[in-house]
Structure 1
Amino acid sequence: MTEEPPAASSLRLAALGPFCAFETHAEGSGLGAPWHPLSEVAEEGSGVLRERVAAVRASLAATGGGPPEAVELRVAASVAHLGLVARVLSPFLGLAALHGLPSRPLALGDLRWGSALGGAFRLSLPREAVTPAAAGDTRPVSTLADDLLDGPLRDLVDAFAPFSVSRHILWGNVASAVNGAVTGITAASPPLARPVRAAALAFLQRPPLRGTYTLHPRNGHFTRRSCCLIYRAAPGGAGALCGDCVLRHGRTTARP
């Protein structure tokens, strides 16, 4: 069973957009529908991840009016991965911007999800971990970045790599998700632009993400150095490119 975060925190996070919103549950509490541990997607042989990739593949193919087989499996896997990491990252960047960081490292199994396609699926975090820390006990954003990149986010990269998606693309997806969260939070609350950008840099400067993107010096525009491959889901591989895609900017460093 889950609970809403404290009222003020819940309202502030919800105001930052659906990808930042989350519910809470008591640590160690039982699971009930629709909740499942997010770690199930990384469990070998569970079938949950393969089912989700298949569902994303069917959805992408339906958009183009074709059968699931019309979309490469690795394309569907990359798109599914990007959606998952964006949903995991956004609440933490929202918390960082609001100065309410988790009080301890979180593993993928600490997170619970209500699996759904299209938009932000329901997400629940342990209440004890996201309760604001006492004054002087706040963990630095750099520590949060290390915890997530070496824990839940690496677990998701490892889980999707067997779908023949290069790790360069998968870590590029993570960097893109960081930038996407910044864009969404800044648009929803301009006063949070400075803290959320500082939090994003704490992530982007870490080794797994270093070298996966370019920040243009003149305007700060973010461009990833790989492609999430979604353009290949369209008939003939002629789909639109994402705003941060390396291919949009005429670069040749993408590694599809």
Structure 2
Amino acid sequence: MNAPVPPPGDAEPTAVISAITALGAFFALEETGAAPPAGWQPMSAALLGDRVTGVRQWLAAAGGQPAGAVEPRVAASVAHLGLAARLVSPALAAAVLFGRPLLFALHEVRWQPVLGGPVPLALPAGALGAPLAGLEALAGLLAARLLAGPLEELAAVFGTFGVSRHILRGNTASAVNGAAVSLVRARPELAVRTRAFTGLLLDRPPLAGESTAEEGVFRRRSCCLIYRAGPGGKGALCGDCALDLRPATGRVPDSAS
């Protein structure tokens, strides 16, 4: 596979975390010790449920509606998509930039559940694995132990609000592609490697079949439901939505230009 060789993978974990964090808010990470600092919370089912309530209120207010006008499953899907992107983005960056897997259990994640943007995220020391040779090996490991692990656990929690597994996996696929687009914008010289790695993740379980990539353009096979949060259930569709018949806008660019 013709993909650029990443920077040396033997960098100190602190340096790797710093390099990933510098890419932007969706990539930013902190490390937790045995006792996380005050203010960091576990990503528990109870707090995730509270987030659905908060997102529901936020979506309703944005549309000038009462909170009850937004379906709980719509808020749950939107909340899930944001958190899936938050968990996937640093792992994608670690793999593409350094050839290293970033692996963790959902119960190990610590976050600050604020609304209005990417949540602060902290992972345990040791989450960053040793370098692996080849994109195939990296993709196989992340698919099995990240996408089919904590990301599936996260989806299961939001599934209790009536969101289908098809939509939730589509959200995760969209999060993977969105992370790739953001990474290429920050590091355009790694566009080929990023595109190749993203394709490997999207083409294998658990995300196989959840999206298409005709002529390099990403489109999911489901809808995150956010359009239903608009007044009368007639809000805008996302650019990669299966319901949008216009040309998709989710292509991983060849460069930042």
The answer to whether the superposition gives a TM-score over 0.5 is yes
Please list, as runs of the form range in 1=range in 2, the aligned pairs for 1:231-246 lying within 5 A after superposition.
231-246=227-242
Per-residue deviation, residues 48-106 of structure 1 (Å, max 9, x unmatched): 22211000000000001111001011100100010110100000001011125237x42
The answer on whether the counterparts of 1:96 and 1:196 sit within 8 Å (CA) in structure 2 is no
Corresponding residue of 1:14: 21
Q: Which amino acid aligns with 2:243?
A: L
Is 1:93 aligned with 2:100?
no
Deviation at 1:195, TM superposition (A): 2.1
Please list, as runs of the form range in 1=range in 2, the aligned pairs for 1:73-152 lying within 5 A after superposition.
73-102=72-101, 105-130=103-128, 133=130, 140-152=138-150
The answer on whether the counterparts of 1:146 and 1:206 sit within 8 Å (CA) in structure 2 is no
CA distance in 1, matches of 2:91, 2:72: 30
Question: Is there any run of 5+ residues in structure 1 with no aligned partner, and where?
Answer: 42-46, 252-256
Corresponding residue of 1:224: 220
CA distance in 2, matches of 1:144, 1:51: 28
Deviation at 1:206, TM superposition (A): 1.8
CA distance in 2, matches of 1:174, 1:56: 18
Corresponding residue of 1:35: 40
Deviation at 1:230, TM superposition (A): 0.2
Q: Evaluate the alpha carbon distance shift between residue 243 and residue 128 of structure 1 in structure 2; reply closer, same or farther with a 3 A threshold.
A: same
Q: Evaluate the alpha carbon distance shift between residue 250 and residue 196 of structure 1 in structure 2; reply closer, same or farther with a 3 A threshold.
A: closer
Q: Which amino acid aligns with 2:65?
A: G
3-state DSSP of counterpart to 2:183: helix
The answer on whether the counterparts of 2:26 and 2:90 sit within 8 Å (CA) in structure 1 is yes
The percent identity for this pair of structures is: 51
CA distance in 2, matches of 1:182, 1:141: 14
The answer on whether the counterparts of 1:96 and 1:195 sit within 8 Å (CA) in structure 2 is no
Q: Evaluate the alpha carbon distance shift between residue 230 and residue 238 of structure 1 in structure 2; reply closer, same or farther with a 3 A threshold.
A: same
The answer on whether the counterparts of 2:227 and 2:235 sit within 8 Å (CA) in structure 1 is yes
Corresponding residue of 1:68: 67
Task: Determine which of 7, 10, 24 is the counterpart of 2:31.
Answer: 24
TM-score between the two structures when normalised by the length of structure 2 = 0.84
CA distance in 1, matches of 2:131, 2:222: 41
3-state DSSP of counterpart to 1:226: coil
Corresponding residue of 1:254: none
Task: Determine which of 180, 197, 210 is the counterpart of 1:199.
Answer: 197
Deviates more, 1:110-119 or 1:79-88: 110-119
3-state DSSP of counterpart to 2:35: coil
Please list, as runs of the form range in 1=range in 2, the aligned pairs for 1:166-205 lying within 5 A after superposition.
166-205=164-203
3-state DSSP of counterpart to 1:249: coil
Residues paired across the two proteins, number: 234
The answer on whether the counterparts of 1:15 and 1:188 sit within 8 Å (CA) in structure 2 is no
Corresponding residue of 2:9: none
CA distance in 2, matches of 1:10, 1:167: 32
CA distance in 2, matches of 1:135, 1:195: 15
3-state DSSP of counterpart to 1:119: coil
CA distance in 1, matches of 2:17, 2:158: 31
TM-score between the two structures when normalised by the length of structure 1 = 0.84
